[in-house]
Amino acid sequence: MQNSPSIYPNSTKTISAILKETGLRGFMKGVLPPLLSISLYQAVCFASFQTSLRLFSGGAREEEATNAQLFAAGTASGFATVLVTTPTDLLKIRLQLREGSGGGKLRDMLHEASRVLAESGPRGFARGWEATALRDTWSTGLYFITYHTAKRHLYEAVGGEGGGSQAAVELTAGGLAGCVAWGACLPFDVLKTRVQGGAGGVGLGETLRTLVKEEGVGSLFSGAGPILSRAFLVNGITFWAYEEACRWIDRLRVR
């Protein structure tokens, strides 16, 4: 939808077109790069956030940190993840743009990686890093602020932590954080997709001017529905799993 809004104007038509062109296998195109890197991405994201927060807050706990400290630590975390997301998103997008139903297997990913190396050398994997940084830095700061703010208000609404409300609060707060962050940075995600999926040598500024001129400002929000739906589910589970991991580590320390 982000690369060809005239062909894929909405979710329903996109699903129909994919099924018609490539069948169910079409939904798996480009899935391998993010699937293989998701654990590394989450590890870098949360580890760099914790490290940065200790630096900016003087060792305060997440619950005690100010919004400014959360934002600064989140922004630093987002910048660190650019090293992971830029090459993996590049491969994902190139695989999704391939003709036919291929693009979901390891050999497809390796073939695409070899093409990047042949075309541009190792530097080719950094293509679109500026747009990725614009998308992931400040929005990750917003991500952590939203999560902790939502979690605090939700706990106040249900009468405090504990009981069966804990998982529900963390899932909901995480989902809201994902929606707010992705909603705010969506135009940069569209630009990143166009830069990484378009012809080589086209910069961010030129891509933006061409996009707005030819397709209008609304094109900067292409794919909002699927992205926000996914963001709520994925980030709700992500934060719940993160909190569970922290509690498990704390129990190990007590022993």
**Domain-wise residue ranges, the chain:** 11-254
**Quick one: which of 119, 82, 108, 125 has its CA closest to 30?**
108
Residue 97's pLDDT is: 81
What is the amino acid identity at position 74? G
Q: Which two tokens mark 180? A: 């707010």
Q: What are phi and psi of 8, to 5 degrees?
A: -120, 75
120 contacts 94 by C-beta, under 8 angstroms: no
The 3-state secondary structure of 25-66, one letter per residue = HHHHCCCHHHHHHHHHHHHHHHHHHHHHHHHHHCCCCHHHCC
pLDDT of residue 255: 64
pTM as predicted:
0.82
Q: What is the structure's pLDDT at 15? A: 61
- Written as six digits, the tokens of 156 are 């106040």
CA distance 138 to 43: 19
How is domain 11-254 classified at the CATH fold level?
Answer: Mitochondrial carrier fold (1.50.40)
pLDDT given for residue 23 in this prediction: 59
Q: What is the dihedral of CA 92, 97, 100, 104, to 10 degrees?
A: 0
Distance CA 44, CA 65 (A): 20
pLDDT at 2: 47
75, two tokens: 């922004």
- Other Cβ atoms within 10 Å of 226 Cβ, number: 15
- Per-residue pLDDT tens, the chain, 255 aa: give them: 445 555 555 556 666 665 666 655 555 566 677 778 888 999 999 999 999 999 999 988 888 999 999 999 999 999 999 999 999 999 999 888 876 555 567 788 888 899 999 998 999 999 989 999 999 999 999 999 999 999 999 999 988 776 668 999 999 999 999 999 999 999 999 999 988 887 555 678 888 999 999 999 999 998 899 999 999 999 999 999 999 998 898 888 766
